[in-house]
């Protein structure tokens, strides 16, 4: 007859065995951080600032560097220097992009930027290509502005640019255009600002063969309502204080022509990096026309396109991260 231990002893032995296995097992390796270079035209519209704030508050993101795009790229670099330094992220490299005189948008946060210090002048294209060579297949380029730097990098060294892991971008308009409110029907597809500002750069990107995740107007016109703004601007952390100041400079520059409710276009690709379920994608072939439109065409897909965002998931990520105090 087989001997059977009493049930309490069997339970204790099971627990002891499980704990012993856990102690002997090799330690779990933390998930590798997502390496990102951000190419952005921060300082005009306010959504870039919110996108950067969310990146800074997201521990799974490793910001390899930030490159400034379009317009006064030197003043944009000063804005970044101040925001990064005052929020405890002064070690993130900033590289100055190709300047443009064709920017029609006012630099609404110029007063904030002028109180920054000009960082060491590193050309954005040099920085981008050098980092890709150092870490081939590992870097995501987060393209949040006109694609001047991107087009120049492809022109100079397409083989190196092709070694990006992917490009996640805000840009284009596929099936829906600009609209003032979510309660009115969307316009037909429009010429979207980032694409239309540098059509040649956008054409180079969509022909580059690099994996593209595209967040067009269809999925990025998410507005930050008063309840969320009050919670953020009253929070009092270095990141939310910077956002509050830049937001009010943006309002001061645009009123009375604009709503005080910002559209968070550039934040959508950031939330997608953190949780791809916020913006599920469809494989499409996108062609950038000489007129600046981004059109679907038949043929082999060249982009994963998000046509609608999950706004509940979006705000859960945004508000939770920005209202969390970092040590």
20 pLDDT higher than 90? no
Kindly indicate the confidence band of residue 132, based on its pLDDT and cuts at 50, 70 and 90: very high
Residue 19 lies in a domain: no
Average pLDDT in the 140-146 region? 98
pLDDT of residue 19: 39
Q: 189 with 212: CB under 8 angstroms?
A: no
Percent of the chain residues past pLDDT 70, beyond the cut: 89
| d(C-alpha 253, C-alpha 97), whole Å | 24
More confident residue, 185 or 223: 223
Sequence-distant (6+) residues with CB within 8 A of 318 are: 50, 54, 228, 264, 267, 271
Please indicate, yes or no, if residue 13 is contained in any of the structural domains: no
Distance separating alpha carbons of residues 301 and 279, to the nearest angstrom: 18
Between these two residues, 24 and 231, which has the higher pLDDT value? 231
Question: 47, 151 in Cβ contact below 8 A?
Answer: no
pLDDT for 214 beyond 90: yes
The CA distance from 53 to 242, in Å, is: 9
pLDDT of residue 186: 79
Q: How confident is the model at residue 101 (pLDDT cuts 50, 70, 90)?
A: confident
Least confident of 93-107, 210-224, 232-246, 299-313: 93-107
Phi and psi, residue 308, nearest 5°: -160, 140
Residue 307 clears pLDDT 50, i.e. is over it: yes
Q: Half-sphere exposure of residue 279, counting CA atoms within 13 Å on the CB side? A: 30
Please tell me the predicted confidence (pLDDT) of residue 100: 87
Average pLDDT over residues 304-323: 98
> Nearest Cα to 284, choosing from 221, 218, 220?
218
Q: Mean pLDDT, to the nearest integer, of 306-314?
A: 98
CATH number at residue 100: 3.90.245.10
**Average pLDDT of the chain to the nearest whole number:** 91
Q: Is 26 within the bounds of a domain?
A: no
Q: What are the E-state strand segments in 6-148? A: 34-40, 61-68, 94-95, 139-143
Domain-embedded: residue 18: no
Q: Are 287 and 297 in contact (CB under 8 A)?
A: yes
Determine if the pTM surpasses 0.85: yes
Q: Is residue 6 part of a domain?
A: no
Where in the sequence is the domain holding 263, given as residue range(s)? 34-322
CB neighbours of 5 closer than 8 A, spacing ≥ 6?
13
| Residue 255 pLDDT level (bands cut at 50, 70, 90) | low
Is 195 inside a domain boundary?
yes
Does residue 46 form part of some domain?
yes
241: tokens are: 């204080």
Q: What is the pLDDT of residues 28-41, one digit of tens each?
A: 456 799 999 999 99
* Residue 183: per-residue pLDDT: 79
Q: Residue 16 above 50 pLDDT?
A: no
CA–CA separation, 236 and 231 (whole Å):
10
Residues 19 and 156: their CA atoms lie apart, in Å, by 57
Where is 305: in which H helix or E strand?
A: strand 303-306
Higher pLDDT, 5 or 97: 97
Is 115 inside a domain boundary?
yes
**CB contact at 8 A, 278 and 309:** yes
The total number of structural domains that make up the chain: 1
Least confident of 123-127, 139-143, 252-256, 293-297: 252-256
Whether the pLDDT of residue 223 is over 50: the answer is: yes
Torsion angle of C-alpha atoms 33, 39, 44, 50, degrees rounded to 10: -10
Residue 2 has pLDDT above 50, yes or no: no
Grade residue 10 by pLDDT with cuts at 50, 70 and 90.
very low
C-alpha 54/C-alpha 140 separation (Å) is: 16
Per-residue pLDDT at 253 exceeds 80: yes
């Amino acid at each position: 007859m087989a001997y059977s231990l009493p049930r309490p002893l069997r339970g204790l032995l099971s627990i002891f065995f499980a704990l012993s296995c856990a102690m002997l097992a090799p330690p779990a390796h933390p998930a590798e951080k997502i390496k990102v270079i951000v190419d952005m035209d921060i300082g005009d519209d306010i959504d870039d600032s919110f996108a950067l704030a969310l990146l800074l508050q997201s521990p799974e993101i490793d910001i390899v560097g930030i490159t400034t795009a379009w317009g006064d790229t030197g003043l944009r670099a000063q804005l970044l220097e101040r925001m990064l330094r005052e929020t405890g992220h002064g070690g993130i490299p900033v590289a100055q992009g190709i300047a443009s005189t064709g920017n029609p948008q006012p630099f609404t946060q110029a007063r904030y930027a002028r109180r920054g210090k000009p960082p060491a002048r590193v050309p954005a294209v040099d920085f981008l290509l050098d980092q890709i060579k150092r870490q081939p297949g590992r870097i995501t380029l987060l393209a949040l502005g006109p694609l001047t730097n991107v087009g120049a990098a492809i022109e100079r060294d397409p083989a190196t640019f092709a070694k990006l892991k992917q490009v996640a971008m805000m840009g284009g308009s596929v099936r829906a255009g600009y609209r003032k409110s979510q309660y009115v029907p969307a316009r037909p597809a429009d010429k979207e600002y980032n694409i239309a500002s540098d059509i040649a750069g956008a054409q180079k990107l969509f022909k580059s063969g690099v994996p593209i995740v595209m967040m067009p107007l269809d999925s990025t016109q998410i507005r930050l309502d008063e309840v969320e703004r009050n919670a953020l601007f009253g929070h009092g952390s270095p990141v939310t204080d910077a956002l509050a100041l830049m937001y009010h400079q943006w309002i001061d520059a645009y009123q009375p022509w604009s709503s005080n409710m910002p559209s968070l276009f550039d934040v959508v690709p950031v939330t997608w990096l953190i949780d791809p379920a916020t913006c599920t994608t469809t494989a499409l072939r996108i062609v950038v026309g000489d007129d600046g439109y981004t059109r679907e065409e038949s043929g082999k897909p060249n982009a994963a396109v998000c046509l609608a965002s999950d706004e509940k998931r979006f705000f859960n990520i945004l508000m939770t991260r920005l209202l969390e105090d970092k040590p």
